[in-house]
Amino acid sequence: MIVVRTATPRDAEALVAIYQPYVLETAITFEYHVPTIAEFSRRISQTLARYPFLVAERAGEIVGYAYAGAYKGRSAYDWSCEVTVYVKQGIQVKGIGSRLYQELERCLAKQQVVNLTACITEGNQGSVAFHEKFGYQQVARFPKIGYKFGKWHDVLWLQKALQIPTNPPKAFRPYPDSYHESVKM
């Protein structure tokens, strides 16, 4: 059974362990160095001030996480955000990422977010297919924009309308813990 809950800074060590192989072995993330536990703890706290940061647990072990962040730092973009998901390597095809995204989208809808974006390194077909399954469509491609492991990488941007935009838009609501209840799968 999978339980999805809001992350806390105390989860940082487990999340760094999930993230580390993606940093060291892939171009899925463009970070060169694995963040410290303190840095990751800061990222969790900073994200939770405005957006959801969720973890998935199975039998008490954190096996994945997903979070949202600002698409851009200007007020006009308040209704658009970038979403990210990571699942512990070796267990990706168990529905954990899907469950995290379902809950993430539920939280973001309550916040009045209208548009979701995902930035994906070209060649990561698993992530492209995962996002397309959730209704994302490719809207942009930036050629040779990131450099890692001795080669240039293209980046794809995918987008999904989470809700129909209103004019004027409904007020964006920052993410408080009360928006999320633990969900079992």
d(CA 160, CA 152): 27
Q: Which domain holds residue 122?
A: 2-172
Which residues, at least 6 apart from 39, have a Cβ–Cβ distance to it below 8 Å? Answer: none
**17-54 residue pLDDT tens:** 999 999 999 999 999 999 999 999 999 999 999 999 99
The pTM for the full model equals 0.93
Domain count within the chain: 1
- Token pair for 30: 């463009």
Residue 122 lies in a domain: yes
- Quick check: 56 pLDDT over 60? yes
Residue 143 lies in a domain: yes
Residue 45 lies in a domain: yes
Residue 180 lies in a domain: no
Q: What pLDDT does residue 54 have?
A: 97
d(CA 167, CA 176): 25
Q: What pLDDT does residue 58 have?
A: 93
Residue 93 lies in a domain: yes
**63-111 residue pLDDT tens:** 999 999 999 989 999 999 999 999 999 886 679 999 999 999 999 999 9
Residue 124 lies in a domain: yes
Burial string for 110-122 (b: 16+ CB within 10 Å, else e) reads ebbbbbbbbbbbb
Residue 178 lies in a domain: no
Report the range of poorest mean pLDDT among 70-74, 132-136, 180-184.
180-184
d(CA 63, CA 102): 16
Q: What pLDDT does residue 90 have?
A: 86
CATH number of the domain to which 53 belongs: 3.40.630.30
Q: What pLDDT does residue 91 have?
A: 83
Residue 182 lies in a domain: no
- Quick check: 129 pLDDT over 90? yes
